[in-house]
Structure 1
Amino acid sequence: MENLEILSPKIDLVFKRIFGNEKNPRILISFLNAVMDPIDKITEVKIENSNIEDDDEFSRLDIKAKTDKGERINIEIEIKNEHDMIKRGLYHWSKMYGGKVKHERYDDELVKTVYINIFNFKFFRSEQAHTCYRMKEIKTNEEFTDMQELHFIELPKIPKEDREITDIFSAWMEFIENPISNNLKKMEMEVEEIKEAKEELMRISADKKERALYEERKVLMLNKVSKLEIDENK
Structure 2
Amino acid sequence: MTRKLISFDWAIKKILRSKANFGILEGFLSELLFTDIQILEVLESEANQDTEDNKFNRVDIKVKDRDEKIYIVEVQFSRELDYLQRILYASSKVITEHLPKGAPYSEVSKVISVNILHFDLGKGDDYIYHGTTRFIGLHNQTELELSAEQQQLYSAQKIADLYPEYYLIELRNFNNVAKDTLDEWIYFLKNEQIEDNFTAKGLKEAKETLDVLKMNPQERLAYERHQEALHYQASMYESTYVLGKLEGRAEGRMEEALSIAKNMKKMGLAVQLIVEATNLSAAEIDAL
Same structural fold, with TM-score higher than 0.5 when normalized by the shorter chain: yes
Contact 2:118 2:172 (C-alpha < 8 Å) held by counterparts: yes
Pairwise CA distance, 1:89:
0.6
Q: Aligned partners of 2:105, 2:213: CA distance in 1, in Å? A: 42
User: Structure 2 regions of 5+ residues with no counterpart?
Assistant: 144-157, 253-288
**Alignment CA distance shift 1:191-1:104 (3 Å):** closer
Contact 2:184 2:200 (C-alpha < 8 Å) held by counterparts: no
Pairwise CA distance, 1:205:
5.3
Structure 1 residues 86-95 or 64-73, which shifts more?
64-73
C-alpha deviations, 1:57-86, integer Å up to 9, x for none? x721211100023211111112x3x32111
Contact 2:91 2:113 (C-alpha < 8 Å) held by counterparts: yes
**Alignment CA distance shift 1:113-1:53 (3 Å):** farther
**Alignment CA distance shift 1:27-1:193 (3 Å):** same
Q: Which residue of 1 aligns with 2:43?
A: 48
Q: Aligned partners of 2:51, 2:112: CA distance in 1, in Å? A: 19
Pairwise CA distance, 1:30:
1.0
Q: How does 1:79-228 map to 2 (within 5 A)?
A: 80=79, 82-101=80-99, 102-108=101-107, 110-138=108-136, 140=141, 142=143, 144-147=159-162, 148-160=164-176, 163=177, 165=178, 167-180=180-193, 184-187=195-198, 190-191=199-200, 193-202=202-211, 206-225=215-234
Q: How does 1:2-41 map to 2 (within 5 A)?
A: 6-10=4-8, 12-38=9-35, 41=36
Q: TM-score w.r.t. structure 1 length?
A: 0.78
Matched positions, count: 217
Q: Which residue of 2 aligns with 1:62?
A: 58
Q: Aligned partners of 1:204, 1:91: CA distance in 2, in Å? A: 38
User: Could you tell me which amino acid in structure 1 is paired with residue 50 of structure 2?
Assistant: I
Contact 2:73 2:114 (C-alpha < 8 Å) held by counterparts: yes
C-alpha deviations, 1:102-149, integer Å up to 9, x for none? 1132223x1110111111122132322111111112453736322310
Q: Which one scores higher on RCO, CA 8 angstroms, separation ≥ 6?
A: 1
Pairwise CA distance, 1:193:
2.2
Pairwise CA distance, 1:17:
3.8
User: Structure 1 regions of 5+ residues with no counterpart?
Assistant: none
Q: Aligned partners of 2:142, 2:203: CA distance in 1, in Å? A: 37
User: Could you tell me which amino acid in structure 1 is paired with residue 77 of structure 2?
Assistant: I
Point out the structure with the larger strand share.
1
Radius of gyration: which is bigger?
Answer: 2
Q: Which residue of 1 aligns with 2:153?
A: none
Pairwise CA distance, 1:223:
4.2
Q: Aligned partners of 1:125, 1:199: CA distance in 2, in Å? A: 36
Contact 1:73 1:116 (C-alpha < 8 Å) held by counterparts: yes
SS at structure 1 position matched to 2:168:
strand
SS at structure 1 position matched to 2:120:
coil
Contact 1:72 1:112 (C-alpha < 8 Å) held by counterparts: yes
